[in-house]
Amino acid sequence: MNVKLRVLSVGALFFINGMYNAQKTKVDTAQSKEIEEVVVLGYNRTYTKPKDVSANTTVSAEVMENRPNVSFLNSLQGSAPGVTIASNSGSPGSAKIDLVIRGISSLSADTEPLVIIDGVPTGANQFRNLNAEDIETVSVLRDAAATSIYGNRGANGVLLVKTKGGKFNSKLKLSYSTMTGVSIMPKNKYNMADAHQLLRIQKNNGVLLGNTLTDDQINNYPINTDWEKTFFKADVTQQHNISATFGGENTSVYSSIGYLEQGGLVPNTKFQRFTFRNNITGRSEDKRFNYTAIIGLGYSKRRQLNQETNSGINGNIVQNPLLGSFMSLPYLQSGQYGSGQQLYDAIGNASSANGNFAYVLEDVLRGDQSVFGRFNETSIFTSATTSYKLTDDITINNRTGADIKMGNSFAGRHPNGYLSIVVARNAGIEYGGSETIGNSRELNFTTVSSVNYNKVFGDHTIGLGAYMEYNKVHFYSSAQVQNGLDPKNFVIGTGVGYIPFDPDKDIYVPSVGANKITAGALSYFATADYDYADKYGFSGTLRRDGNYRFAPGNKWGTFWSVGGRWNIDKENFMEGSVFDMLKLRASYGTQGNANVIAAGDDTNPMLLATGISREVNIVGNGYGNTPGYFLNNIANPTVQWEEIKQANIGLDFKLFKKLEGNVDVYRKSTDMLYYNIPSSAITGQYNFRGNYGGLKNEGVEVVLRYNILSNNDYKLTLFANASYNENKITKLLIPVSTGSLLLEEGGTINEWNLVPYLGVNPNNGNELYLDSNGNVSEQALEKDRRKTGKNYFPKYTGGFGLNAEYKGFFLDALFSFQAKFWRSDNQLTWALNPSYMRSGNNVSADLLNAWTPDNRETDIPSLNAPMSSITDRLLYDASYLRLKNITLGYNVPKRFFNEKSVVKAARIFLQGENIMTWTKWRGYDPEGLGTFPLSVYPNPRTFSIGANLDF
């Protein structure tokens, strides 16, 4: 029978009577029968929906298929309650995706959820080598009843990814899907000046070229370059996938091959991926022995900007097009120099004078002939699952899997590039350029063994399980840096063109480095489930975790959870009610977070903080550059897990056979926060890492789905989910201030701490502020800062949309939103600061409305007014509503195909991704959980056409 999986309610895989398959062809309702809803939780635990006690959501393949996203996380945004997903870079293949479930639960420890793929934990949340077309479902586990079984690794929530499989007793089915589209740059509202406007602003301020021109010369200036169009180009994205499924009496197979290519908006940025997957499921003749064997292979190549992995050049206008496109002077002509040597011959080492940085940036974007960055990654995912029923009630199970990642990178400066030439000339050497070759290998190994007992005694059902899990991580990396490259024969990544080290002049000195880490964890745990007459149910988990990171005495932690439900609709007094299901559930549990250091992009948190409980001494240079031996880390043998306690109350309902949904209310408290504790300076260290402090997250989650119309010719379904979360620091030893962000007991995490901005003084054009005494002032001082009660974590998140069909035509739309969060727009700060104009940079045309004696009523200060960087003038409410995805298509009717047709089903569609965004934010993209938007690569708008064919 053909079924279609949808996002329906918390914790459910809904198999709905009469639904259509993935190609949306009609189902013979006369031959269909209702299949009870199924909930899939961790470690192969499954329940029917009415018997589940936990808060979780299952998102089906339909939400993620045929989407132009490298990572399935981008497609998941807005589709599940309690989940905040924010892409901090639209660069192809980027790993800069923030994923938060039910709020930030730590100040400095890792806060990303655990991701399990086919039962095997992954090391880092990047997933660039996982083909979303191979995913069947993603289950988001949120409360303690669902996540405590994962102990210390599930403290921040869990994502269960299940890939597709074949079906027993099914014919061979071949499918092909293809999509081609174009990605374009989103618009900003910075109102950057064109050549005539900038020259006018300069003339108004009496500086630079504009001050030397007459009004007529300014109005008729012949050059007006749009540097954004120079540095950013529309690019093509495409993907092709072929899959095959078939099954015999006791064996089924799913196999797929996929290719994806996504061009970047910036020249010489690109991502390519090749994937292969083979999932085999089998069983013995007597059905007592079952097994699954999975292997997934992936290989990806990406070219990216240096800024993607080197935040140190975020503010570098000669290497970062995201900033350079704003600051470049529009009255300069682009495309004047064809090579780095031509540029050097023209401007020498004056890379910043007279706006020359625009030309340097043009040269940098020549990629392989200037500044290059190539990254290749090979991934191997494999797992084997076996189970054997010793009796009708007792089953033994084992799942063993490995996630292997091997990376290679080639980054540096080509000797033909301007930057290499100017560095070499300034240093008085013949050859410039450098190449860094990096290699890494990471193995994540997991094995889980269990014994499960399930028995029915009349109205009583009992389930018991005993488990042992072992995790091991091996990591190795090495890097070599070659300084000095011969432009006549250098080829990236080959070693050709390396200039030998010159010991006499001490130049062209190469360097090497390596790193090796072994990490591990051991856990054993038990589960218990009880049901009485389908009305009442209870579930419990007890888990003992051990981690290599902590010292003896603190290596082990014990975590637990309990949950219960009451199926109200089963009571006699509910007979004849409008409810098809009405269930009240509650849970409470504890967990520990052993990943006490927040992992960076592409980094496995298991590999960090290896020496926190040990005193570490290292060799280095001290005073006068004299080699020495000194303390690098103060041992803290008492350091331990962060402790998280979570309570949840939920209500699931379904009524009139049309409306269904759920409501959840939760409180999540973290104690023993891992953070800096002050230390006596006599130790040489001003602080050390330890456990102190507490915070809490409280929130509400709502999911609704309303099937308005449903028959053979037309269908219409509306759906929505929304979440509210508020965090508060409940205990902190001393306030911590980092720039304009504050951590203080009683406040929110990373609260903006700024001086209130009041506007422009109409008498002199200066900025006005509110000082700490409540008086109006023209000076903003550090003592005038105050807490705003605002941070950059959204309080409200969610999504809504519709699925509609009419006689083969279909329309699917998904909107996502995040609300009540604030970001400081430092990119706009540059654009509105006249001093940057006077330094030879472009600015916003808003400055044409700057205060003058004849223009007193304005919100733009005088061009000569002093400006403060510690006020809330440019602190914006970054709330947004986005048309995340819309798809319009047609299912070719079955009457066009017969038994002799090569093609059995066909579907064509048009779609758009990130189509429209409604926001007060003036930048390219309000999305992202970072403090500032400066140089954040925006998420592109993508329009595509595609088709699905079945053979």
Helix/strand/coil (H, E, C) string of 321-334? HHHHHHHCCCCCCC
| Averaged confidence pLDDT in the chain | 89
End-to-end CA, the chain: 18
Q: Do 240 and 178 touch, CB atoms closer than 8 A?
A: yes
Report the percent of the chain where pLDDT is more than 90.
72
> What would the DSSP string read from start to end of 884-945?
EEEEEEEEPPGGG--TT-S--EEEEEEEEEEEEEEES--SS----SSS--TTPPPPPEEEEE
Mean per-residue pLDDT, 77-94: 88
Looking at residue 624, what is its pLDDT? 66
DSSP 551: P
| CA–CA distance, 481 with 908 (Å, rounded to integer) | 50
**3-state SS class at 497:** coil
User: How big is the CA angle at 695 (ends 690 and 700), to the nearest 5 degrees?
Assistant: 150
Q: Do 408 and 461 touch, CB atoms closer than 8 A?
A: no
In this prediction, residue 632 has a pLDDT band, given cuts at 50, 70 and 90, of low
* 281-295, 437-451, 603-617: segment of lowest average pLDDT: 603-617
Q: Do 294 and 381 touch, CB atoms closer than 8 A?
A: yes
Question: Tell me: the pLDDT tens digits for 92-118?
Answer: 888 888 889 999 999 888 888 999 999
In 3D space, the residue among 889, 884, 892, 881 whose CA is nearest the CA of residue 915 turns out to be 884
Residue 625 has pLDDT above 70, yes or no: no
Looking at residue 350, what is its pLDDT? 93
Mean per-residue pLDDT, 669-684: 78
| CA–CA distance, 917 with 882 (Å, rounded to integer) | 4
In this prediction, residue 19 has a pLDDT band, given cuts at 50, 70 and 90, of very low
Q: Do 104 and 78 touch, CB atoms closer than 8 A?
A: no
| CA–CA distance, 223 with 211 (Å, rounded to integer) | 17
**Sign for the pseudo-dihedral over CA of 846, 852, 858, 859:** positive
Order of strands across the sheet with 786-787? 736-738, 741-743, 751-754, 786-787
| CA–CA distance, 295 with 383 (Å, rounded to integer) | 7
Strand-pair partners of 757: 769
Q: Do 56 and 142 touch, CB atoms closer than 8 A?
A: yes
In this prediction, residue 685 has a pLDDT band, given cuts at 50, 70 and 90, of low
In this prediction, residue 90 has a pLDDT band, given cuts at 50, 70 and 90, of confident
Looking at residue 21, what is its pLDDT? 29
Question: In terms of DSSP bridges, do strands 371-389 and 394-413 run parallel, antiparallel, or are they unpaired?
Answer: antiparallel
Secondary structure element (H or E) that encloses residue 342, with its range: helix 340-347
Residue 7 has pLDDT above 70, yes or no: no
Q: Do 835 and 864 touch, CB atoms closer than 8 A?
A: no
Burial state string for 918-942 with b = 16 or more CB within 10 A and e = fewer than 16: ebebbbbbbbbbebbbbbbbbbbbb
Residue with tokens 């070693």: 495
CA dihedral (543, 544, 547, 552) in degrees, to 10, reads: 160
pTM listed for this prediction:
0.90
In 3D space, the residue among 541, 648, 791 whose CA is nearest the CA of residue 81 turns out to be 648
The strand ranges marked E within 102-157 are 114-117, 120-121, 135-141
**3-state SS class at 628:** strand
In this prediction, residue 789 has a pLDDT band, given cuts at 50, 70 and 90, of very high
Residue 399 has pLDDT above 80, yes or no: yes
In this prediction, residue 618 has a pLDDT band, given cuts at 50, 70 and 90, of low
* 171-175, 721-725, 755-759, 822-826: segment of lowest average pLDDT: 822-826
Token pair listed for 636: 């803290």
Q: Do 502 and 508 touch, CB atoms closer than 8 A?
A: yes
